[in-house]
Amino acid sequence: MRVFRDENGQALISFAVILSLLALGFLAFAIDAGMLFRERRVAQAAADAAAVAAAEEVSNGNTVANEQTVANGVATLNGMNTSLAKNPATVQLQQSSSWNGVSSTYVTATVTQPIHTYFLGAFDKDLAYVNVSAQAIAGFGAGNPDCVCLEGGSGQDLYMSNGSSINGSSCEVVVNSSSSNAISIIGGSTLGAQTLGTVSSTWDTSTNIYGGGSVTASTKIVQGIPHGCAPAMPAAPSYSSCLSDPGGSGGTITVGPASAGGTICYQSLTVGANAGKTTLNPGIYVISTGYVHFEAGSGGKSNLGGNGVFFYLLPGAGSILIDNGANVNLVSGGAKESGGATAPSTGAYDGILVYQATGNSTGMTVEGGATAYMNGAIYAPSAPLTLGNGSGSTFDGGVIAQTLTMSGGGTLTATPTAGSSVSSFPRLVQ
């Protein structure tokens, strides 16, 4: 009997088997690589949270042991379990006094955990477990000064709409509200600052920033800050008896202190009434019972002068009202005038344009005209502030208020002033 052995096709079968094995190997590698990539992202989130939590413990003066305990707990909550019986995650903390050339207190958190692979161990037993690690650095205590401080403890503290913008490139915007709607930016409005911090831990950008609203990419957003802003207010100026409103009937008048830097008290003050021409002398204006009301004035200007002025509204007074279309010129002591010169000094109140005393909760409204120019901080710690100035107007200065509402396309160039607080809440720097 003859047996025929035909080996044709055997090489093809062997090649197919080898290709199948290689394909399975690549598939196994892809599965493990994808899993490790996901675990790396989890580790980074845990490191970020652990660094901030540890920095907060340091800022509150707690012990190193407590710092470690809190960091471990936060890492576990973020997916890196430090209490597992086998292969637990570890959190290593290290403090330093500088980062990137900036002196402060910084905490570096390194989170590491051995992750069991699905298939790599079959190829190399040393790959049965692969360490996944991530690092983050948080700092506090050397923050930029606050330029916008909104002290309302709940509800909506900041509302921006209709193309308005805040530019605080060298400072921080701090919102004390703990509510989920603490900040709303809509209608093409933009906020830019070194940091946007809010006490709220439930506020999020997806439900509160929409309709073309945005926060610039360079702005660091920090939620759940341990404490809000609470800047110290200046002392009230001394004054004598208060005069009646000199400008209620309009006409061409000059009001204010007799000498630059001096102080005068009015019961109320109307500027630019009945198309009048009102010149504001430099100095300190105390308002005892009524409002400071800027009307449209004459020749497209609500007032003449207005360089080197400071308005103080007593607890029993009204507030500042600047009508829509009122092209005011108001410059605080020592600040830059619209023409580039430096305004006369108002002494201890340099850099502050308006201080509505603590306890005075009357709402302040600043509308203004297309060419309004205001340079100086507004302090209204107990009151809501509305800025509705037009797109061509200029408003430079810091803001302290209960709430801030912006509309009308105006821009607040937010700058810190003398006495600005520096928020030191922990935040990620890397």
Pair 420, 280 in one domain: yes
SS3 265: strand
The region of weakest confidence among 1-15, 239-253, 395-409 is 1-15
pLDDT at 419: 56
Percent of the chain with pLDDT over 70: 87
Domain assignment present for residue 430? The answer is: no
Token digits of residue 277: 């021409």
Q: Which residue has the higher pLDDT, 19 or 322?
A: 322
CB 353 within 8 A of CB 332: yes
Whether pLDDT at 31 is above 90: no
pLDDT at 312: 98
Token digits of residue 400: 């302290």
Q: Is residue 351 classed exposed, middle or buried when 0-12, 13-18 and 19+ CB atoms within 10 A define those classes? A: buried
Token digits of residue 109: 């958190």
Pair 383, 398 in one domain: yes
Pair 284, 152 in one domain: yes
Domain assignment present for residue 375? The answer is: yes
Q: Which of 93, 94, 86 is nearest to 69 (CA)?
A: 93
Domain assignment present for residue 383? The answer is: yes
Domain assignment present for residue 339? The answer is: yes
Pair 107, 209 in one domain: no
CB 32 within 8 A of CB 117: yes
CB 368 within 8 A of CB 394: no
Domain assignment present for residue 321? The answer is: yes
Q: Which of 184, 99, 197 is nearest to 421 (CA)?
A: 197
d(CA 376, CA 351): 5
Say how many domains are in the chain.
Answer: 2
Angle at which helix 10-59 crosses helix 64-77, to 10 degrees, equals 140
Q: Which residue has the higher pLDDT, 130 or 426?
A: 130
The region of weakest confidence among 6-20, 198-212, 244-258, 291-305 is 6-20
Whether pLDDT at 370 is above 70: no
pTM tops 0.85 = no
Pair 240, 92 in one domain: no
Query: How many other CB atoms are there within 10 angstroms of residue 238's CB atom?
Result: 9
Q: Which domain holds residue 105?
A: 10-140
d(CA 208, CA 241): 48
Whether pLDDT at 368 is above 80: no
Confidence of residue 301 (pLDDT cuts 50, 70, 90): confident
Among the three residues 110, 140, 170, which one is the final residue of a domain in this structure?
Answer: 140
